[in-house]
Structure 1
């Protein structure tokens, strides 16, 4: 899920940069890209993943 959110943020950052849209400092292309990188790093680290080790049921 976090990987998908990162991809969406990268696409938004690309649109802001490519279309040269004037935004305030909080939503600049670089800041949106850094948020995407943060989400991508969390995804790679396993945060937000559906599978958790040690959670299997044995009968």
Structure 2
């Protein structure tokens, strides 16, 4: 789930950068990209990937 959110944030950062939209310093494309990278790192680390079903193996 975090990987999908990171991809959406990367797309938003790309659109802001490509359209040269003037935004606040908080919503700058670099800041959105860094948030996306943090979410992607959490996804790769296994956080937010959902619960794994652990059943008995016979």
- Paired residue total: 57
Query: Any runs of at least 4 consecutive aligned residues in structure 1 with deviations exceeding 4 A, and if so which?
Result: none
Q: Hey, what does 1:27 align to over in structure 2?
A: 27
C-alpha RMSD over aligned residues = 1.5
- What does 1:5-44 correspond to in 2, within 5 Å? 5-44=5-44
**Structure 1 alignment gaps of length 5 or more:** none
**Structure 2 alignment gaps of length 5 or more:** none
